[in-house]
Amino acid sequence: MYGISNCDTVKKARKWLEANNIEYTFHDFKKSGVPQSNLEAWLNALGVETLVNKRGTTWRKLSDSDKADIESGAKTQELLSEHSSVIKRPVIETPSGEVITGFTPSQLEKYA
């Protein structure tokens, strides 16, 4: 699981995983950065529209040119690494190789 430890959605996901005895490893973007190989895989699996949280304050604070560069793919990885809070959280890589972003229990019940 990847995200930011003080994110409410990440907290809910971690609590649910622990309550259902599902082992996971947590990688905090703020402390350890965004792993570039993972970011590329997430973009390939989910696309920009799903991976980027356009409802948050980080997105709203970006310049129009940065937003356009993210959406067009021109500098997507670079800008998502620089502004990791714009990545929809959590990002979960499942044992089957599926990539999930955001959290609803139904997404993970098959792993419980």
Predicted TM-score (pTM) of the model is: 0.91
Among candidate residues 103, 46, 57, 102, the one with its CA nearest the CA of residue 83: 57
pLDDT at 95: 86
Active-site residues: which are they? 7
- Model confidence pLDDT, tens digit, residues 47-88: 999 999 999 999 999 999 999 999 998 899 999 999 999 999
Rounded distance between C-alpha atoms, residue 31 and residue 77, angstroms: 18
> Would you give the distance in Å from CA 78 to the centre of its chain?
15
Q: What Rg do the C-alpha atoms of the chain give, in angstroms?
A: 14
Rounded distance between C-alpha atoms, residue 82 and residue 61, angstroms: 13
Domain annotation for the chain: domains and CATH numbers? 2-103 (3.40.30.10)
The model's confidence at residue 90, banded by pLDDT at 50, 70 and 90, is very high
pLDDT at 96: 87
Q: How far apart are the first and last CA of the chain?
A: 15
